[in-house]
Structures are given as C-alpha cells and as structure tokens.
Amino acid sequence: MTLLTTENLKKYFGETRAVDGVTLTINQGEVLSLVGPNGAGKTTLVNLISGLIRPPDAGKILFQDTDVTFMPPQDRIRVGIARSFQIVNLFDQLTALDNIRLAIFSRKGKTKSLLRLAENDREVREEALEILDQFGIEDKRNIVAGGLAQGERKLLDVAVAYALRPTLLLLDEPTSGVSTRDKGKIMDTISGVVRSGQITAAIVEHDMDVVFTYSDRIVVMHQGKVLADGTPDEIRTNEEVTITLLGTSKADWSEYRTH
Ligand SMILES: Nc1ncnc2c1ncn2[C@@H]1O[C@H](COP(=O)(O)OP(=O)(O)OP(=O)(O)O)[C@@H](O)[C@H]1O
Ligand SMILES: [Mg+2]
C-alpha cells in the first residue's frame, strides 16, 4: 500500500535545481534507501517531505491521501511524518533519557508540564526507557547527549525521531561519521525497530554496503532527478546507476566510497 507520494516535486535555489521533478512513492512497511552523489538533492527532498522547506516550487506531496504540501512541519509530525537530521539534532546538555522524554512530551503536547513535575511523568519515563532499550542505549540514560560516542549519538538522534511515534520515519544519513562496525549496529537496530514497530523508513545513505544489505527498495537520485528506482539486485546491476555512481559500467561496488 502506498504511504506517501510526491508528484513532480521541484525546489530550485537560484540556478541550482536541487529537486527537479521528483515523482516517487513510499510503500507502507518498507525500508527505502535514497542514494546519490553529493548534491544530488537527497536532503532537499527530505526537507520538502518533512516540511522544513515549504512550499516546493512545484508539485505535490500526498501522505495517506492527504495533501500535505503546504502543511507546517509540526502538523506533519502530528499526521505521522518524523525525521532525523544529517547533523544530529540533540540537546547536548540534557541526558539521553531527557532527550527522549522531551520528544514524548512534545508529541503529547505537554511541553509546558516539564516545568512542574508532570503527574504522568512516570509513564513518560517508562516509555522513554523502553525506547532507549529498543535502541540498545538504555545503559546510557543518565549521560548527557554531548558526552556520548558518535555511534550512540546517532542512535539517540534516531530514537528521538522514533519517540514521536511516526508512521513514516525519514532518516538523513543515520550512519554518517561512525565506524563500519557501528554502522551495522545502527542499521540492525533501525531495521529491527522499523519491522517490529510496523513503521516505514526512508533512509538517505551513502554506504552502499549498508544500502544493499538493509533496503527493500532503492531510489537513486542524480542532479535533482530520480535516476533509478528498484530492488537492491536491480540497482546493483543497473548500468546507468553504475556509470553515475562508479564511473564505469562494471558493477564492482567494493571500491565505492563517498564522503
Ligand atoms: N539552502 C540552500 N541554498 C542554496 N543551495 C542549496 C541549499 N540547500 C541545498 N542547496 C544546493 O542544492 C543541491 C542539492 O543539495 P542537497 O543538500 O539536497 O544534496 P544531498 O544529495 O543531500 O548531498 P549530500 O550527499 O552532500 O548531503 C546542492 O547543489 C546544494 O548546494
Ligand atoms: Mg544531504
């Protein structure tokens, strides 16, 4: 079932056609990866879908049959679209637990009650601890976000977006800047949570090992357009894709590196 559709979406910055007529669908329950060279328009597309940039210069965004093209980001969160950022977006002075609690409070529309001791704080705390546990960082609950290792910070950042209980979770480079070993851990965690929570994830990712391992479907962007859309097997051997990303028609992904 289709969860989200973009129709001929466009966003130009002066001469730069960051997103240049993107039509794509995101299906319920899938892990979709969005790949492409630096500057391909991936973040801009996520910004358009999450409402951080709005409105687009042209086109439409439909989420569960509702036109959300002009909706402010907080309303999109309410209807079920949450995102994480390419650079983590945490309160560094707050503990891991409090970062999650804050997301839960904001979801419940009770940020004000943080100032006094909320009567339902116990419930929120329990939910926050459960989320930290799902992401394997429950033992870090009392450490301030600024004091966590990079891989843990990325996990916490995704956990904060997840705490908003979205239907669609958009993740912009959840594994960037972490070791290869931690990448696997982060993606195992994310895909496990996505599958058990029956939510949908659209993930911007550069590491093609990660992309081929964890995606149900891959969308390749290039110069603001969708170059290819298919299963990992289809994308791995797609000649247009290998020429654009690898510079050769030979599908040898072992040497592919960006960033
Ligand atoms: N706010 C902005 N003002 C001007 N140009 C912008 C802005 N945001 C993005 N761009 C340009 O739009 C193009 C697409 O950028 P975008 O950040 O979406 O690419 P990306 O695929 O996410 O790249 P990366 O892999 O490096 O994160 C680039 O040429 C970028 O310089
Ligand atoms: Mg980007």
Query: pLDDT digits over 58-100, tens only?
Result: 999 999 989 999 999 999 999 999 998 888 889 999 999 999 9
Structural contact between residues 154 and 174, judged by C-beta atoms closer than 8 angstroms: yes
Beta strands, E only, the chain: 2-13, 16-27, 31-35, 58-63, 66-67, 81-84, 168-172, 200-204, 217-222, 225-230
CA dihedral 83, 231, 26, 86 (to 10 degrees): 20
Q: Please choose, from the candidates 35, 46, 34, 31, the residue with its C-alpha nearest in 3D space to the C-alpha of residue 257.
A: 35
**What letter does residue 140 receive in the DSSP assignment?**
G
Order of strands across the sheet with 217-222?
81-84, 168-172, 200-204, 31-35, 217-222, 225-230
Distance CA 89, CA 2 (A): 29
Position 207 scores a pLDDT of 92
Q: What angle do CA 259, 163, 158 make, to 5 degrees?
A: 10
CATH number of the domain within which 166 lies: 3.40.50.300
First CA to last CA across the chain, in angstroms? Answer: 34
Domain total for the chain? 1
Q: Could you read off the pLDDT of 246-255 as tens digits, one per residue?
A: 888 888 888 7
User: With bands split at pLDDT 50, 70 and 90, how would you rate the model's confidence at 50?
Assistant: very high
Q: Please choose, from the candidates 66, 59, 10, 3, the residue with its C-alpha nearest in 3D space to the C-alpha of residue 31.
A: 3
Whether residue 112 has pLDDT greater than 60:
no
Q: Is residue 41 lining ligand 1, measured as CB closer than 6 Å? A: yes
Spacing, Cα 53 to ligand 2 middle (Å): 14
User: With bands split at pLDDT 50, 70 and 90, how would you rate the model's confidence at 111?
Assistant: low
Q: Could you read off the pLDDT of 30-40 as tens digits, one per residue?
A: 999 999 999 99
Atom 16, ligand 1: which residue's CA is nearest?
Answer: 41
Domain that holds residue 21: 2-255
Q: What angle do CA 24, 29, 31 make, to 5 degrees?
A: 65
Distance CA 102, CA 169 (A): 18
Average pLDDT of span 5-19 = 98
Q: Which residue has the higher pLDDT, 193 or 21?
A: 21
Spacing, Cα 39 to ligand 1 middle (Å): 5
Spacing, Cα 150 to ligand 1 middle (Å): 24
Position 32 scores a pLDDT of 97
CA dihedral 168, 44, 190, 33 (to 10 degrees): 90
Spacing, Cα 249 to ligand 2 middle (Å): 25
Atom 27, ligand 1: which residue's CA is nearest?
Answer: 38
Position 119 scores a pLDDT of 57
Kindly report the backbone phi and psi dihedral angles of residue 202, in degrees, each rounded to the nearest multiple of 5, phi listed first. -115, 120
Q: What angle do CA 46, 52, 57 make, to 5 degrees?
A: 80
Position 259 scores a pLDDT of 58
Spacing, Cα 162 to ligand 1 middle (Å): 25
- Residue from 16, 170, 203, 204 whose mutation best tests the ligand 1 pocket (most atoms within 8 A of CB): 16
Q: Please choose, from the candidates 157, 139, 215, 154, the residue with its C-alpha nearest in 3D space to the C-alpha of residue 186.
A: 154
Question: Is 57 strand, coil or helix?
Answer: coil
Q: Could you read off the pLDDT of 208-218 as tens digits, one per residue?
A: 999 999 999 99
- Residue from 9, 11, 13, 204 whose mutation best tests the ligand 1 pocket (most atoms within 8 A of CB): 13
Atom 18, ligand 1: which residue's CA is nearest?
Answer: 41
Ligand 1 atom nearest the C-alpha of 40 is 21
